Structure 1
């Protein structure tokens, strides 16, 4: 690969464009198939969205140059980022590159410290257990909706603490899917259409305004909790990098600098968001109300869209493969026996982690990401002008047959340590890469493992709808996924010992 250098030759244009709308109709009607087909056209392929050109990178090695090695030439931007900024504002996912982004990331990092997340683990487990115990055995459920509702409500408990008004959680759940659909609409349509006073545009603006009002209520709720909490609950979390001089209650993992055990004095009523409410930059001071809103919306969107989608697909794949299900049950029974999951169990589920990682590989989570060139560049031999959109697709990279053997097969064992050595790590982009890599990766893994382990420990789910088809919205979601829960009784140590070998 020549990267951003070499002899220039115009990037090939994808076939099938139409007058005025370019390739917009293909992105609207069959986005995953269209993006995947571009791999055969070259490592960089030009497409047209209306009259505007965008350059799609289909080779993960070239994408790494965009995200890591030549990152200064590719700023966070493009049509999808512009559309997301309508309701994210300047949250960490959409804020422009530069000092402000680095400052926000530094102030937010303690929120996602491993030891800090661990203080919320048992509260999250309790919430998931209560929610899933209410399922009725033998009654079909919308699993995609269940997982989105469950991950959102669990994240709200982790983020803002317990006691959030019911109407706030309910409105979050109803608003977010409609807002994300409106965002995709703004991404695909020409910019001038999204600025017209059309009913759809007005409805999108009203939903965004209502979302911000709800965020304000959640922030005020959490401030009130902090004010009412005993002084001992306001101390820094163990292992928190923002308080390097604080003592920890457990050993430190030297590879990460994170505490690997122990607990803090945080009350069960607290939440991770206290990190932002108490953050104070020496130069610019604490986060403003607008900045708190922006970051909260960014975090919540990641919680409902990516985590919930991953869990829904994972449960579907488990239901299709009895051997995968058996191995998950064996692992859970060996770790927990017939007692409920606990926070300290989460790190002892390597096969479950492989199952989740394979679901991320196969279904996203994000399927389309954009950057904007800050200067004229030559990308893998193809000239790209300043200000152009550069697009890459984690979905396309994670289905590359040159990297993943039999990419359409759900195979958790491909992540077994020895086999995984043959996989180019740059091709797995579920959490991005480089300095814009997802700050919440550690939390995402914790929530994914907690929800999946709690569900699988109690229930066996069987598919009652037709096999779902992938739909590219913001994530790659199932078009329909109905499953029926049946109670499962975990095997005790004695029962497993009695099984024939």
Structure 2
């Protein structure tokens, strides 16, 4: 056996397994507590999902070997990836390691360049402002649903351009949560159960098929926009010219997805219809669940920490004053970025990730056979008390430059690490900052439900989060109003 480190010794098995289902009941009922407790068992702990063994890595230094230094021994795969592939297909998140993955990553990279994303920034800001200005003062809202709906619609505008048919957006919003719940169900149940012709399995298949039909409609819409942008402008004097050149209007509505529609690999040519579908689904799933969940938790934590709220307001008001947010302001909001990063640390985004061994290995002294599932949890690593002082406390100050020096990069895995690190990280930060800044600039949200409890689905979501918006006056404007009138 080719070892990675240390003399081989059998992995400890987590307590509490049951016949036939192994630890599946614990993963279904109390997954976060169960995974967090594994740290006490060792750096690599064996669990059973049905009769199948999986090896959970609880030490971030060992996880770094899996993702970075010994990455060839741990391929993208495992039960979660197999379940995701049912509706992702071979998108960038699920495609196997190798030349094809690198080709897709190269083709998609220009879409997520900082300068390219910036071209959509003001359009996204305008969309978020319009959506949030429609909120009614003093009327409680489901903040988790709001943030998921808002991040989806904002991402659709950025990805496919404006004017997407309304029914497409609405169906996306209804389908995605159900599909993700079905995927988690397929992950924690034995494989033979997910293959039976059960009503739940058939419903999952129908939802996936409908999602692909919606993706086709979105792609067709975007192709039509690009074709319209390529039409020559009418000559001067023509009546159509009085409404302005069509080229500029259509081009301004084009989205980031044009990068993939026009991509052309020298060896294999453009992406196929199936590949375009797979990548669109991958992008949408990554944008909705993770970003919306992070924003919901962030707004909750701001509402219960007045000092953090005051500091956020002061930073935002110093940058924007009484005018609306602009794309160029995003780089001047470091404290807001720290608040968002702390929400990512505490609540996700993804709480469970798998790899599969490509050969027999010895990982931190534990022998693991070829073809075995290796699991790590960003949630567990980001709550490690040896890395994060008082990990249950929401403390954005831990990300200030001096304090952050003591945090090992392997202990923050919101975007993964290594060659499979999330390609959309820059876009995620842009959308997070735009939505949070726009909401905080216009509203103060107060909790009207019981404090939410974390639920591990794909992300660590709040079980219930109802908040009531009240208008907010920028600090400088408020100070001006409170000054006595000259006598």
1:238 Cα deviation after fit: 29
What TM-score do the two structures reach when normalised by structure 2? 0.94
| CA apart distance, 1:378 | 0.1
CA contact (8 A) 1:2 1:380 kept: no
In the TM superposition, what whole-angstrom CA distance separates every residue of 1:309-352 from its partner, at most 9, and x where no partner exists? Answer: 00000000000000000000000000000000000001100000
Alignment check: 8 A CA contact 2:226 2:250 kept? no
TM-score, structure 1 normalization: 0.91
The 3 A distance-change label for structure 1 pair 95 and 138 is same
Displacement of 1:495: 3.1
Contact kept? 1:27, 1:34, Cα under 8 Å: yes
Aligned to 1:10, the other structure's residue is in SS state coil
Instruction: Supply the distance in 1 between the matched residues of 2:355 and 2:471 (Cα, whole angstroms).
Output: 47
More deviation, 1-10/192-201: 1-10
Q: State the distance in 2 between where 1:474 and 1:455 align.
A: 25
Deviation at 1:453, TM superposition (A): 0.1
**CA distance, structure 2, for counterparts of residue 152 and residue 178 of structure 1:** 15
Q: Give, in whole Å, the separation in 1 of the partners of 2:2 and 2:329.
A: 46
Which position in structure 1 is the counterpart of 2:270?
286
Q: Deviations over 1:258-303 (max 9, x none)?
A: xxxxx99983211000000000000000000000000000000011
Whole-angstrom CA distance in 2 between matches of 1:239 and 1:429: 59
Counterparts of 2:235 and 2:92, CA distance in 1: 22
CA positional deviation for 1:58? 0.1
SS of match in other structure, 2:2: coil
Residues 241 and 492 of structure 1: is their aligned pair in 2 closer, same or farther, counting only changes over 3 Å?
A: farther
Distance 1:250 1:43, change over 3 A: farther
Q: What is the CA deviation profile of residues 115-149 of structure 1, one whole-angstrom value per residue up to 9, with x for unaligned ones?
A: 00000000000000000000000000000000000
Contact map agreement 1:110 1:240 (CA 8 A) in 2: no
Question: Do the aligned residues in 1 keep the contact of 2:348 with 2:414 (CA within 8 Å)?
Answer: yes
Contact 2:349–2:459 (CA under 8 A) maintained in structure 1? yes
Q: How far off is 1:500 after superposition?
A: 14
Q: Distance in 2 between matches of 1:82 and 1:242?
A: 53
Instruction: Name the CA distance, whole Å, in 2 between partners of 1:433 and 1:204.
Output: 31
CA contact (8 A) 1:119 1:266 kept: no
Deviation at 1:425, TM superposition (A): 1.1
Structure 2, unmatched stretches of 5+, are none
Does the 8 A contact of 1:375 with 1:387 survive in 2?
yes
Structure with greater Cα Rg: 2
Report the equivalent of 2:458.
Answer: 474
* Deviation per residue, 1:423-446 (Å, 9 max, x gap): 111100000000000000000000
In structure 1, what is the equivalent of residue 339 of structure 2?
Answer: 355
Shift of 1:491: 2.6
Deviation readout 1:466-494 (Å, 9 max, x if unpaired): 00000000000000000000000113379
Could you say if the C-alpha distance between residues 217 and 24 of structure 1 is closer, same or farther in structure 2, counting changes exceeding 3 Å? same
SS of 2:475's partner is coil
Task: Provide closer, same or farther for how the CA distance between residues 238 and 303 of structure 1 changes in structure 2, counting only shifts above 3 A.
Answer: farther
Shift of 1:32: 0.1
CA distance in 2, matches of 1:285, 1:500: 70
Are 1:116 and 1:239, in contact at CA under 8 Å, matched by a contact in 2? no
Residue 383 and residue 266 in structure 1: after superposition, are their counterparts in 2 closer, same or farther (change >3 A)? farther
**Structure 2: how far apart are the matches of 1:482 and 1:200?**
29
Cα deviation, 1:36-73, whole Å, max 9, x if unaligned, reads 00000000000000000000000000000000000000
Summarize the Cα distance change of 1:282–1:120 in structure 2 as closer, same or farther, 3 Å threshold: same
The whole-number CA distance in structure 2 between the counterparts of 1:293 and 1:104 is 13
Q: What is the distance in 2 between the residues matched to 1:281 and 1:309?
A: 35
Gap regions ≥5 residues in structure 1:
230-234, 244-248, 252-262
Report the CA distance shift for 1:407/1:129 in structure 2 as closer, same or farther (over 3 A).
same
The aligned length equals 480
Cα distance 1:337–1:264, how it changes in 2: closer, same or farther (>3 A)? farther
The yes-or-no answer on 1:86 pairing with 2:70 is no
Partner of 1:250: 244
Mapped contact 2:225–2:250 kept (Cα < 8 A): no
C-alpha contact (below 8 Å) 1:353/1:449 kept by paired residues: yes
Q: Structure 1: how far apart are the matches of 2:393 and 2:236?
A: 42
Rounded Cα–Cα distance in structure 2 between residues aligned with 1:423 and 1:405: 10
Q: Is the 8 A contact 1:115 1:237 kept in 2?
A: no
- 1:14-50 deviation per Cα after TM superposition (whole angstroms, max 9, x unaligned): 0000011100000000000000000000000000000
CA distance in 2, matches of 1:377, 1:32: 27
Q: 1:272 to 1:486 in 2, by over 3 A?
A: same
Counterpart in the other structure of 1:159:
159
Structure 1 stretches (4+) deviating beyond 6 angstroms?
235-243, 263-266, 496-501
The separation in 1 between residues aligned to 2:277 and 2:137, in whole angstroms, is 39
**Aligned counterparts of 1:4 and 1:107: Cα–Cα separation in 2:** 33
Inter-CA distance 74–239: structure 2 relative to 1 (3 Å threshold): farther
Q: 1:373 to 1:390 in 2, by over 3 A?
A: same
User: In 1, Cα distance between the equivalents of 2:406 and 2:252?
Assistant: 43
